[in-house]
Amino acid sequence: MQKSSPSQRPEGVNAASIRVAKPSDIAAMLALERAAETAAHWSEVQYQQIFSGPGRLALVAESGAIEGFLVALQIGAEWELENIAVSSAAGRRGQATRLIAELLERARAEHAEAIFLEVRESNQPARALYEKCGFKQVGLREGYYRSPEENAIAYKYNFQ
């Protein structure tokens, strides 16, 4: 599979820009996350902490307004995709794919070896997205999620 780069958009994707998030984006990120049933739900303080220390990358997709975001954590040569959400209005237009492609490019530039993530076992659209982007299933975490309780599928993207 050919890996996407930020300049290579999937067919039919609109021209929203991807940029590094800023603290002034927190309200929009919170609103998107609250509206996305499958996103990880964080407090405003947790979003503020993204901007207060090293190791975190937050990206937003915007086309007039913020339509999606992604948050990742870097620990040495390994990264973790912690949260991703796209507005329902922007869904199915490639914004999540573009956010992940930008994360892959930035992690590659930092000499990453791998990116990990967990996703609800029942979240088939997200699982299909991650697999399309080159992530491989590497494990199962029983009872990982709460409200409702559900297993997590662990995925890994290898740069090697």
Listed in sequence order, the DSSP H helices in the chain are: 26-35, 44-50, 95-109, 124-132
CATH superfamily of 17-115: Gcn5-related N-acetyltransferase (GNAT) (3.40.630.30)
Cα angle, residue 158 at apex, residues 81 and 92 outer, rounded to 5°: 50
Residue pLDDT, tens place only, 82-119: 999 998 765 566 899 999 999 999 999 999 999 999 99
In sequence order, the β-bridge partners of residue 4 are none
* Rounded Cα gap, residues 143 and 152, in angstroms: 7
Domain ranges of the chain: 17-115
C-alpha gyration radius of the chain:
15
φ and ψ at residue 9, rounded to 5 degrees:
-90, 140
- pLDDT per residue rounded down to tens, the chain (160 residues): 333 334 333 444 456 799 999 999 999 999 999 998 878 889 999 999 999 988 999 999 998 899 999 999 999 999 999 999 998 765 566 899 999 999 999 999 999 999 999 999 999 999 999 999 999 999 999 999 888 899 999 999 999 8
